[in-house]
């Protein structure tokens, strides 16, 4: 490599490729013309060395354990701000002034109700459906209910669709929960803040008065901030890829939610809690550590390891503190799951297998304990992640749509199937 270009030798030919430098983080080699110049593609399954886009939204330094939204450290946003401020920041690029924040909160609040017909749409699901199945279906269905905001070439419609999704996601998630427990849907109450409103829609019943606990509301709001964006992860890349074809925003966000559901991604918080329950007590930990290290055993420590973080996930540190705050507030002195989690973390962090592979607790390790203590069933954990990540998906989708150089995403492949062969009629096979 030299200066701002790099050179690649292929079949005796020298190909010059520009090196592009970002504001921080690794530079990239622009291989856009490689195929035209060499007739070859690059090969990078799982995209471990491939930047799929240019973005100004979120920055992660996985070695140092740093996460910035629009340049601001996650720790400062979680400590001082609220979730809607983070939404504004991710969407607009700057922190809002007091009047911008008041206006944004007002606009989100005015969009919290969903079309009444959607309540009947929910009746079509089985009561025992997983809330994420209901979320994926109902987010996608929004394009059928709100077609006046599906024209992606109209900036106003894009803005309306974005506000609708951020505002209605808590309503849909709460409806998904209420539906599975067989309780009536609770309408949003616009005098409450975003997260308190969500807690009320989940846990209030018409038969009695419900008072939002401000400590729990603040803790959940912080959890939403921690989950709001995480640069080009699997679900966000899914949203971008779906959006690159010109699909409507509701369809794109439904695609992101479907991807998030997987246990290697957003489903890990549910899987981590189930794992802690399965381990059950501190004495059983060595057995599970041995299983996680056994190459022939598919078992993994859920809530451990990350594609990008090769250090303690900064979100996990804040999450751990939030867990203690919530358990204290609820007067839960001895939670056996927390005991298992703390001991598991201690053992894993001193075990050479985990140290060498740089496997640290990620955000999902502690979030399950906290959400369970708040009263959410495990099946709702990923739905809460989807609720919070919606703004990140939208900000990334919007950035892509507004980029004049945007083209349809179309990865290539290394074909290893049968070469050309003649069709053999069925009677001669």
Residue 290 contacts ligand CMC per CB under 6 A: no
Q: How many positions of this chain bind ligand CMC (CB under 6 A)?
A: 20
Burial code (b: 16+ CB inside 10 Å, e: under 16) for 291-302 equals ebeeeeeeebbb
| Least distance (Å) between residue 288 CB and ligand CMC | 10
Rounded CA separation 198/212 (Å): 10
Is 115 one of the catalytic residues? Answer: no
Is 364 one of the catalytic residues? Answer: yes
180 or 367: CB nearest ligand CMC: 367
Identify the residue among 149, 244, 362, 390 touching ligand CMC (CB under 6 A).
362
**Candidate ranges 148-156, 213-221, 305-313, 407-415; the one touching ligand CMC (CB under 6 A):** 305-313
What does residue 67 show for φ and ψ, rounded to 5 degrees?
-135, 120
Tokens of 273: 């809690």
Query: Which residues is 19 bridged to in the sheet?
Result: 29
Query: Which position among 193, 221, 306, 313 bears the catalytic label?
Result: 306
Helix, strand, or coil (residue 26):
coil
Query: Which position among 193, 229, 313, 364 bears the catalytic label?
Result: 364
For the chain, give me the number of helices (H) and strands (E)?
18, 6
Report the chain's terminal Cα–Cα distance, integer Å.
Answer: 55
Query: If you compute the radius of gyration of the chain from its CA atoms, what whole number of angstroms results?
Result: 23
300 or 317: CB nearest ligand CMC: 300
**Candidate ranges 149-157, 173-181, 203-211, 294-302; the one touching ligand CMC (CB under 6 A):** 294-302
Task: Determine contact, residues 322/371, Cβ cutoff 8 Å.
Answer: no
List binders of ligand CMC among 191-220 (CB under 6 A).
none
Residue 33 contacts ligand CMC per CB under 6 A: no
Residue 300 contacts ligand CMC per CB under 6 A: yes
- With vertex at residue 182, the alpha carbon angle to CA 178 and CA 188, rounded to the nearest 5 degrees, is 30
101 or 300: CB nearest ligand CMC: 300
Identify the residue among 140, 266, 368, 392 touching ligand CMC (CB under 6 A).
266
Residue 357 contacts ligand CMC per CB under 6 A: yes
Tokens 């700057």 belong to residue? 94
Identify the residue among 65, 188, 243, 303 touching ligand CMC (CB under 6 A).
303
How many CB atoms sit inside 10 A of residue 83's CB?
27
Identify the residue among 70, 168, 240, 306 touching ligand CMC (CB under 6 A).
306
Residues marked as catalytic: 306, 364
């Amino acid at each position: 490599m030299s200066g701002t270009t790099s050179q690649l030798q292929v079949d005796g030919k020298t190909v010059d490729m520009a090196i592009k430098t970002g504001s921080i983080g690794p530079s990239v080699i622009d291989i856009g013309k490689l195929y035209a110049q060499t007739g070859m593609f690059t090969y990078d399954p799982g995209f471990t060395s491939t930047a799929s886009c240019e973005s100004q939204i979120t920055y992660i330094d996985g070695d140092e354990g740093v996460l910035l939204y629009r340049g601001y450290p996650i720790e400062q946003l979680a400590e001082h701000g609220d979730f809607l401020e983070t939404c504004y920041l991710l969407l607009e690029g700057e922190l809002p002034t007091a009047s911008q924040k008041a206006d944004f909160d007002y606009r989100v609040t005015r969009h919290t109700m969903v079309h009444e017909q959607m309540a009947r749409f929910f009746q079509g699901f089985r009561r025992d459906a997983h809330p994420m199945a209901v979320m994926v279906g109902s987010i996608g269905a929004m394009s059928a209910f709100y077609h006046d905001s599906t024209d992606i070439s109209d900036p106003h419609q894009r803005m309306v669709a974005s506000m609708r999704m951020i505002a209605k996601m808590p309503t849909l998630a709460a409806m998904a929960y209420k539906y599975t427990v067989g309780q009536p849907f609770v309408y949003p109450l616009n005098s409450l803040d975003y997260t308190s409103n969500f807690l009320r829609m989940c846990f209030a019943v018409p038969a009695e008065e419900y008072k939002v606990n401000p400590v729990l509301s603040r803790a959940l709001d912080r959890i939403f901030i921690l989950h709001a964006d995480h640069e080009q992860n699997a679900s966000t890349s899914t949203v971008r890829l779906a959006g690159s074809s010109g699909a409507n925003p509701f369809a794109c966000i439904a695609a992101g939610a479907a991807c998030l559901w997987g246990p290697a991604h957003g489903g890990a918080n549910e899987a981590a809690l189930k794992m802690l329950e399965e381990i059950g007590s501190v004495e059983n930990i060595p057995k599970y550590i041995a299983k996680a290290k056994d190459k022939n055993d598919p078992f993994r420590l859920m809530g451990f390891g990350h594609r990008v973080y090769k250090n303690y996930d900064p979100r996990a540190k804040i999450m751990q503190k939030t867990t203690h705050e919530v358990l204290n507030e609820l007067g839960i002195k001895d939670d056996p799951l927390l005991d298992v989690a703390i001991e598991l973390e201690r053992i894993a962090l001193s075990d050479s297998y985990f140290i060498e592979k740089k496997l640290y607790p990620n955000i999902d390790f502690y979030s399950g304990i906290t959400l369970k203590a708040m009263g959410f069933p495990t099946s709702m954990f990923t739905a809460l992640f989807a609720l919070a990540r919606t703004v990140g998906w939208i900000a990334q989708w919007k950035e892509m749509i507004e980029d004049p150089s945007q083209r349809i995403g179309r990865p290539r492949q290394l074909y290893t199937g049968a070469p050309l062969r003649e069709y053999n009629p069925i009677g001669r096979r």
